[in-house]
Amino acid sequence: MTPSARCAAAIAILDRVLAGEAAEKALTNWGRASRFAGSGDRAAVRDLVFEALRRRNSAAARGGGLTGRGLVLGLMREAGQEALFSGEGHAPALPGPEEVGREPLAEDALDLPGWLLPELRDSLGDDFVPVAQALRSRAPVFLRVNLGKTDVPGAVAALAAEGIVARPHPLAATALEVVENARKLQGSQTYLSGLVELQDASSQAVAEALPLTDGMRVLDHCAGGGGKTLAMAARARLRLFAHDASPRRMADLPERAKRAGTRVTLTDDPEGAAPYDLVLVDAPCSGSGSWRRDPEGKWRITAQDLESVMETQRSILDRAAAMVRPGGWLAYATCSLLDRENRVQVEAFRARHPGWELDREVRLTPLQGGDGFYLALMRRG
């Protein structure tokens, strides 16, 4: 496919996304119907679609409208490649007089949902504009080195032998940032043999901050795919339990644990094995700290959605607290940048449950390189 044809494909996919179809589904359906597209074409079209979603407001302004065509035209204008809209062959048609576009206004240039701007500004303070700019760009690819099988230099060397270039990242002792050939990663022996796992550096930093020692009974209450479960397993010899409200999210965890050389007990009745020395609650949230990876999320979340997810956070915290032994730890984490989901939520929990001491808080934003994350470590009296 030519670059112009890739633009045309991205336009068609984005129109489906803007009509309500999930981006991953729209991309999959396009790929199945476009057997002529090679792996490089599919990757390039995917990148265009997600770049358009990250920069939706500013691209729509430059492209003259909130349509698939407007978004891709806006991206090409920003990149100085409007000539790809030539109308020749499979290229999109030449821009018409109604598609002159304009430079984005100040708020458009931030590419954030307008209704959340005041709250994000209050939560981030002086970092608000730099963080907004960071969220407009693609997230780096990070790996966690499995110290149970190798060390950081060993993982770097193993990856390099397969043509993948990675370098240590300061956010966590186990973090590597992939700087070349990230697309080779999931087919590499280094990955398939469990020497490394895909995991954001901020997520690793959260797991690294947990007070883990050999012999502890630990529950990952909102385990999802189990990234933090495995990160904890690599730090100490633990008796690990994993629970998720949607068990299917944990479907790959046993195989991943086996590959990593560890063992995790999946449970749909976490109370049955209580009490625990530590319960980690990586709670459902707005996802605002990870909007680089899920740009659809920032445009689809509503005020009602946020209120609903905060009620879920409250409920999970109350449930998890009852499973911690006296003197044990409750770790509350979100990938949110909003104080309302983080500090304010923790203060409200402690008001409902006297006797919990706040030991420390960790706040991370994309300015440190990884996703935005929050962690509160609380100890039961």
Q: Which residues are catalytic?
A: 335
Which is nearest to 169 in space by CA: 200, 193, 139? Answer: 200
